[in-house]
Chain A
């Protein structure tokens, strides 16, 4: 018989059971050991966290958010401006912005494509204006070196949409997700999934400035309940137009 759940919880909290039968059972029961391990790990996470609730950041942080997003709600900035150490004046991810951009340029091989512009016009009618295009190529460490693709952003009337076509991607375990990516800040916007024909058309979110996301990235995602980028990029390319 398995030990009581209370006993397993106490073991996970560093209170070993004095009952030798419990120790014997644990030695031979992977289920109970897994239970204790999971609870022990949970307790370790809680202990490693700060016991006090996280204090709010200074008001200037909200003021910055409200200003950036142009919120109607007037921010309340009461505390003094941040430290004026010139080294700290620039946000940390921008301190390396030039380098990051340069490194990205080394990865992004071909940029723009004349033939794509023609195809965009012929496939969507004359009223569609191509805003920007990108050739998508495998990253050097991608397992899918045979894959390739194109992306284009076009405006029709008042709407702007992104169209992505890929070839050579294997049938995935999960799915392929398309992202707008700003390599300077690391910001990403998920756009949607490629269909089985490796094609996708996505409306651009309103109020989003496409020039702030100069890179199109396609990631291989698993059904793992994790909404963020898997960090497995299969194709990527820089928009130009």
Chain B
């Protein structure tokens, strides 16, 4: 177990035991991730803030139901967030269908209003991005150049001064770790 995993485990224990400082630590670490899920899936910025608040309130109240053996804390928080987003959007959708029915018009096709993106998909992206932030610095650096600057491994070697073989091995190891995290903690039903 690495130092990061050990720290996460200790944080989870304190959180489950009802340590309010641990809730604050959870919030400092992952409120941005939950908030971003809301910004990408909900109609307004105010909704995203409401979602963030509800998720952390719900997490605190059900903290004893968190089982570290079943997944990471951020995956658990995102699962709570996905459920709330889905239930909320369903309610909006139902609202719209009822409104449409009273006008004797068919409801428009597609998902709920404002659901610009699929919450499960966005949650998976956030999970992978969160893991990217936790990679060893060199792996993170080369992967970011590959993902966001579209550099080839040769260009990455030139840009960083790292040997070609090292770049390839960082890319492979980093990508593999992101994949493992996604497969263990990602939204079900893919």
Contact = CB atoms under 8 A, between A and B. Distances in A.
A60 to B, nearest CB: 7
A29 B76 CA distance: 36
B158 interface: no
B153 A15 contact: yes
A207 B18 CA distance: 12
A46 B177 CA distance: 12
Contacts of A58: 49
Nearest to A82: B46
A51 interface: yes
B6 interface: no
Nearest to B27: A62
Given A39-B175, A50-B36, A57-B31, A208 B188 contact: no
A83 interface: yes
Interface stretch (A96-104, A122-130, A149-157, A163-171): A96-104
Interface in B56-79: 56-58, 60-62, 64-67, 70-71, 76, 79
Nearest to A38: B179
A56 B32 contact: yes
Majority-rule SS of B interface residues: helix
Given A9-B168, A61-B35, A65-B53, A46 B129 contact: yes
Interface in B132-190: 132-133, 143-144, 146-148, 150, 152-153, 168-169, 171-172, 175-176, 178-179, 182-184, 188
Contact of A186 (B44, B87, B95): B87
Given A54-B32, A186-B91, A205-B64, A92 B83 contact: no
Contacts of A65: 27, 53, 56-57, 60
B175 A61 contact: no
A51 B148 contact: yes
Interface stretch (A68-76, A110-118, A139-147): A68-76
A187 interface: yes
A199 interface: no
B35 A49 contact: no
Interface in A188-222: 188-190, 205, 207-208
Contact of B65 (A14, A46, A189): A189
Nearest to B98: A99
A211 B52 CA distance: 23
Contacts of A45: 124-125, 128, 178, 182
B175 A62 contact: no
A88 B172 contact: no
A57 B48 contact: yes
Contacts of B179: 38-39, 42
A226 interface: yes
Given A13-B175, A15-B152, A42-B175, A93 B87 contact: yes
A6 B71 contact: no
Nearest to A191: B65
B124 to A, nearest CB: 5
Contacts of A1: none
Given A49-B132, A93-B87, A185-B84, 9 more contacts: A6-B169, A8-B172, A42-B179, A46-B128, A57-B35, A57-B48, A83-B46, A227-B79, A228-B79
Interface of B: 20-21, 23-24, 27-28, 31-33, 35-36, 42-44, 46-50, 52-54, 56-58, 60-62, 64-67, 70-71, 76, 79-80, 82-84, 86-88, 91-92, 94-95, 98, 121, 124-126, 128-129, 132-133, 143-144, 146-148, 150, 152-153, 168-169, 171-172, 175-176, 178-179, 182-184, 188
21 contacts: A10-B153, A15-B153, A47-B148, A49-B128, A51-B147, A54-B32, A56-B35, A58-B49, A65-B60, A82-B49, A91-B54, A92-B47, A92-B88, A93-B54, A93-B84, A93-B87, A186-B91, A208-B61, A225-B184, A227-B71, A228-B82
